[in-house]
Amino acid sequence: MSTQRYFRPWSFILPGALLGIVTLGYPVYRAIFYSFHAVTMRRLGEPVFIGFENFTRLFGDHLFVRSIVVTINFTLGTTVFAVVFGLLIASIMSTRGIRGTLKARFFMAFYLVPFVTTQVVTGILGRLYVWQSSYGLVNHLLDRVGISGPSWLTNLDTALFATVFTNGWRMTPLALLIFYAALATIPDELVESAEVDGASTFALWFRIKFPMIRFHLGFVSLIILTSAFREFDVIYGLTGGGPGRSTEVLSILVYRLGVAQGNMGMANAVSVTMLLVISVITIIAVKAGKLGKMSD
Amino acid sequence: MDKFFIDNLRTRVTFAAQTTGNRKGGVLYMTHKHCSMRAVAITLALFLIIVPGVFAGGGQEAAEDQVTIRIGEHPGAHVGPMEDYFIPMYEEMTGINIEMEVLPPDQVWQRFQLDAPDGGWDIGYHSPGWFGYFYEYVADLTPHMDRHDFDPYEHYPEPVINSHMTNELLRPGEIIAFARNPMSPIMAYRQDWFEHPDERSAFQEEYGRELTVPETWDELYEVAVFFTRSAGDTVAGETLEQDLYGYSASVSEPGGMARAFLAVVYSMGLDGFDDDFQTDLDEPLLLEGVEFWTRLIRDTFPEDALTWNFLEHVDFFAEGRLAMSELWPEAVLTAESRSAAGNVGYSTLPVWPGNRKDLPIGRSFLGGGGVLVFDTPNQEHAYDFLHWLLVENAVEFTLRTAMFALEEQFSSDEVLGSQDFYDDFLPVFLAQMEYAFPRQPIAEWGEVMYTPVGQFASDVYYGVESPEAAQQRLVDNMLSVFRREGYID
């Protein structure tokens, strides 16, 4: 009986675990395998073992280091943008008098559009209609207030900003949804009694609301961080990694090395590096944010 | 209904009701009647699933006789006429079904590489630079041409056969494709502006020589700078509503940049690498070329050109916002439209004085493409369709697409009479093709030349690396690939 009680939960997990091993474990194994080989897309079946040579070449290349810096900037920029705006909008939407109204529900549905739009379409539309220098939406709006907008996507100084803005805009609804749900769980009585006790808006946020949604904050940040770290579609559609590699994040580098140049060994070395980095970030974030205790 | 099943079910429902404390659990007791209804519902559902399957199976047998040819195409002027005219006509004539999918340009070879081993395509777009990625799966057209008593050497210019229809390294002795739109870029310019007295006198005053169509790359730079003007200025006596630019190509990185910059590389007489896989890209001449190219883009191209893909700049030319333009011949109908219509002059690419091959004109690679047949059970039908389309209907095809490959397409009176500008355009087109650079037929051409050369020019233009460092990266990459493939030690 005790043996059955021990093994029974595992039998429930087994199908999903097997599926996970096949769909995740095997590709990860192949990626690690190829990263230690000289192998091209055309000759995937003929890898030649070269040890750490791919990694040595990568880390000795200043363009790879540059790509890491771009990825960090892009990831942090997207996360900060989405979390700040998501929280801001969610707090407005959850205010008494607005929460639950028809307008609020309409706005919520409307605001989900960026999140459900195909990523590559977001990128292409951004390139053609939003950031385009002569007739794009952004420069049109700037023009209305007398500012001459730059060529956002061809300028080394502005392309990354445009890319972060676009991806942040796309990820904001995710943050909004979770923050809105979290804020809705705070009892009105708690807020009202604090207000009766004379709590300022600042105190209300930092003494009551933030502590009550801190796990959600950590969870949303982690989800957006990991998503932005591996983002490809939006950037590819928007800038293709340019101009001048200024938006060449690691995932774009993987594409260029592996698909455009067919060098699967180097591409997988970058992928494995990405896997290691994101694993470390996730573990640190979960430990530091005590996200593992969310369910307690 | 199986009594054991009912009892078992009853026990489980009761257990569930008890363990969850659901006092209404008893209501969930299944009766024999409920179970019978459930059995009927399941039977009905199975019936509804199986019966259509049976009929569909019958239909499948009939469908097995139906030949379907799958075509993977590159976007271009041929797509509309094929979809709207040629394919429906052929389907009606033969009863063969043709499915054409237009693939994004930068995914064509990748899709073929992935799908060809499984017979995913019967016909595919052919670019000589991509052939190496899937050459094992392509059919030899020689026996099919013999069936039709068609000798390609009597119909196509020799450089076109060498570049687009054969590959002596990977498929020796075979015809691997039909050339459909082989071409090399020429230059288009606004003839009316070049002939306008105000422009001629202004140019004479500023540069001390006559305004003529540029014959060298330096002259091109000079004329392009001359015509680069801001909105509010005039050109040919008319006030400009928008900025005007002297010259442009589509130079998005790295593909667009590669396509355009290779015209400078090949005009300088560089080959990239020779028959012994020795590179000439380490020459200081390349640095001279990239410095010139950077200056030309910076001073005369519209900034948006840096985001444009293949041929997008030709729209800009047609709208009267470019004085000169790189022109891949398949875009001639676009160039001859809107405000540019009837005002376009054509010229071969300018010469690079002191080039290493003593070329009398500038040149780029022989690009454009063709169509190939994959080695599938449908290959005979696939070839027959292409023969009908590109050989038997060659003239009609050109009239509808402005694509040229066979000699009879260049010389047909019907074709020549169909557009006023063909008298000026076609001789330039042919002259340029005569000097076009045929790409080396190795599988890794894109890996060592196309993408890295485009990236080289982009990196230098944007200041990512010094020209010398970028050149070294270009050479190192080439040597590393050649070593990996065993071409050199």
Tens digits of residue pLDDT in B230-249: 999 999 999 999 999 999 99
Nearest to B446 by CA among A56, A267, A241, A41: A41
Look up the ipTM and state it: 0.81
The percentage of residues in chain B with a pLDDT greater than 70, rounded to a whole number, is 87
What is the DSSP secondary-structure string of B41-70? Answer: HHHHHHHHHHHHHHHHHHHHHHHTTS-EEE
Predicted pLDDT of residue B472: 97
Q: Among positive and negative, which fits the CA dihedral A54, A56, A59, A63?
A: negative
Strands (E), B103-185: 123-126, 178-179
Predicted pLDDT of residue A3: 73
pLDDT at B475 exceeding the cut of 90: yes
CB atoms B464 and A259 under 8 Å:
no
CB atoms B304 and A134 under 8 Å:
yes
pLDDT at B48 exceeding the cut of 90: no
CB atoms A242 and B306 under 8 Å:
yes
Written as six digits, the tokens of A197 are 């006790």
Q: Taking all residues of chain A, what is their mean pLDDT, rounded to a whole number?
A: 90
Rounded-to-integer distance, Cα A70 and Cα B226, Å: 39
Nearest to B451 among A151, A240, A260 (CB): A260
pLDDT at B29 exceeding the cut of 50: no
Distance of CA B87 to the CA centre of its chain: 21
CB A292 within 8 Å of CB A217: no
Phi and psi based region of residue B365 (left: phi greater than 0; alpha: psi -120 to 50; beta: remaining): beta
Predicted pLDDT of residue A105: 86
Predicted pLDDT of residue B297: 98
Superfamily in which the B186-365+441-484 domain is placed by CATH: Periplasmic binding protein-like II (3.40.190.10)
Predicted pLDDT of residue B236: 97
Residues 444-463 of B with CB under 8 A from A: 444, 446-447, 451-452, 458-459, 461-463
Nearest to A154 among B254, B303, B447 (CB): B303
Stretch B20-30: mean pLDDT = 40
The model's pLDDT over B344-389, given as tens digits with 9 standing for 90+, comes to 999 999 999 999 999 999 999 999 999 999 999 999 999 999 999 9
pLDDT band at A42 (very low <50, low <70, confident <90, very high): confident
The model's pLDDT over B263-283, given as tens digits with 9 standing for 90+, comes to 999 999 999 999 999 999 999
Chain B CB contacts of A262 under 8 Å are: 133, 444, 446-447
Chain A CB contacts of B484 under 8 Å are: 38, 40
Rounded-to-integer distance, Cα A91 and Cα A208, Å: 13
Stretch A134-145: mean pLDDT = 93
Q: Which residues of A touch B (CB under 8 A)?
A: 38, 40-42, 63, 66, 127, 132-134, 151, 153-154, 156, 239-246, 256, 259-263
Three-state DSSP state, B155? coil
**Which residue in this structure is represented by tokens 């982009």?**
B458
Q: How many CA atoms lie within 13 A of A116 on its CB side?
A: 7
The model's pLDDT over A213-236, given as tens digits with 9 standing for 90+, comes to 988 999 999 999 999 999 999 999
CB atoms B451 and A261 under 8 Å:
yes
Stretch B471-481: mean pLDDT = 95
The model's pLDDT over A148-162, given as tens digits with 9 standing for 90+, comes to 999 999 999 999 999
**Opening angle at CA B313, ends B310 and B314, nearest 5:** 95
**Opening angle at CA B357, ends B354 and B360, nearest 5:** 70
CB atoms A153 and B307 under 8 Å:
yes
Residue B402 burial (C-beta neighbours within 10 Å; 0-12, 13-18, 19+): buried
pLDDT band at A177 (very low <50, low <70, confident <90, very high): very high
Stretch B392-399: mean pLDDT = 97
Rounded-to-integer distance, Cα B389 and Cα B330, Å: 18
Rounded-to-integer distance, Cα B182 and Cα B123, Å: 18
CB A254 within 8 Å of CB A270: yes
Stretch B291-299: mean pLDDT = 98
User: Directed axis angle between helix B32-63 and helix B3-19, to 10°?
Assistant: 110
Q: Is B294 on the interface with A (CB under 8 A)?
A: no
Rounded-to-integer distance, Cα B63 and Cα A4, Å: 53
Q: Between A and B, how many CB-CB pairs are < 8 A?
A: 63
pLDDT at B124 exceeding the cut of 80: yes
Write out the H or E segment, with its range, that includes residue B346: strand B344-347
pLDDT at B58 exceeding the cut of 60: no
Stretch A233-258: mean pLDDT = 93
pLDDT at B22 exceeding the cut of 50: no
Minimum mean pLDDT range among A130-144, B44-58, B183-197, B360-374: B44-58
Q: Which of A43, A129, A154 to mutate to test the interface with B (most CBs of B within 10 A)?
A: A154
Chain B CB contacts of A239 under 8 Å are: 307
Distance of CA B130 to the CA centre of its chain: 10
Written as six digits, the tokens of B106 are 């930068």
Q: How far is CA A277 from CA A234, A246, A280, B219, in A?
A: 21, 21, 5, 52
pLDDT band at B7 (very low <50, low <70, confident <90, very high): very low
Nearest to B464 among A133, A151, A244 (CB): A244
Beta-carbon neighbour count of residue B40 at 10 Å?
10
The percentage of residues in chain A with a pLDDT greater than 90, rounded to a whole number, is 59
pLDDT band at B159 (very low <50, low <70, confident <90, very high): confident
pLDDT at B63 exceeding the cut of 60: no
CB atoms B447 and A262 under 8 Å:
yes
CB B251 within 8 Å of CB B297: yes
Q: In chain B, what are the domain boundaries?
A: 68-176+368-434, 186-365+441-484
CB B133 within 8 Å of CB B113: yes
The percentage of residues in chain A with a pLDDT greater than 70, rounded to a whole number, is 97
Three-state DSSP state, B279? strand
Q: Which of B480, B484, B487 to mutate to test the interface with A (most CBs of A within 10 A)?
A: B484
Write out the H or E segment, with its range, that includes residue B246: strand B245-248
Distance of CA B177 to the CA centre of its chain: 15
Instruction: Using CA coordinates, name the residue in chain A closest to B452.
Output: A261
Superfamily in which the A60-293 domain is placed by CATH: MetI-like (1.10.3720.10)
Stretch A248-254: mean pLDDT = 96
Rounded-to-integer distance, Cα B485 and Cα A38, Å: 10
pLDDT at B57 exceeding the cut of 50: no
Q: How many CA atoms lie within 13 A of A192 on its CB side?
A: 4
What residues have CB less than 8 Å from B305, skipping those under 6 apart? B248, B249, B250, B251, B297, B313, B316
Same CATH fold assignment for domains B68-176+368-434 and B186-365+441-484: yes
Stretch B390-398: mean pLDDT = 97
What residues have CB less than 8 Å from B41, skipping those under 6 apart? none
Residue B289 burial (C-beta neighbours within 10 Å; 0-12, 13-18, 19+): buried
Q: Alpha helix (H) ranges present in chain A? A: 2-20, 26-35, 53-59, 62-93, 102-111, 113-116, 119-125, 137-144, 159-184, 188-196, 201-203, 210-229, 233-238, 250-255, 264-288
CB B69 within 8 Å of CB B119: no
Rounded-to-integer distance, Cα A187 and Cα A145, Å: 43
What is the DSSP secondary-structure string of B13-34? Answer: HHHHHHHTT-GGGGGGPPPHHH
**Greatest distance between any 2 Cα atoms in chain B:** 108
Predicted pLDDT of residue B280: 98
Q: Is B330 on the interface with A (CB under 8 A)?
A: no
Predicted pLDDT of residue B46: 58
CB atoms A244 and B459 under 8 Å:
yes
CB atoms B461 and A244 under 8 Å:
yes
Q: Taking all residues of chain B, what is their mean pLDDT, rounded to a whole number?
A: 89
Instruction: Using CA coordinates, name the residue in chain A closest to B132.
Output: A42
What phi and psi values does residue B185 have, to the nearest 5 degrees? -70, 145
**Which residue in this structure is represented by tokens 């005007």?**
B244
CB atoms A38 and B484 under 8 Å:
yes
Which range among B9-23, B27-41, B78-92, B104-118 has the greatest average pLDDT?
B78-92
Q: How many CA atoms lie within 13 A of B93 on its CB side?
A: 11
* Beta-ladder partners of B188: B325, B346
The model's pLDDT over A53-71, given as tens digits with 9 standing for 90+, comes to 999 999 999 999 999 999 9
Q: How far is CA B109 from CA A232, B364, B384, in A?
A: 20, 22, 23
Nearest to A276 by CA among A17, A16, A22, A35: A35
How does strand B97-102 pair with strand B68-73? parallel
Stretch B453-463: mean pLDDT = 96
CATH no., domain B68-176+368-434: 3.40.190.10
Alpha-carbon distance B488 to nearest alpha carbon in chain A (angstroms): 16
pLDDT at A4 exceeding the cut of 80: no
CB atoms A153 and B113 under 8 Å:
no
What residues have CB less than 8 Å from A73, skipping those under 6 apart? A160, A164
pLDDT at B35 exceeding the cut of 60: no
Nearest to A259 among B110, B253, B461 (CB): B110
Rounded-to-integer distance, Cα A18 and Cα A39, Å: 28
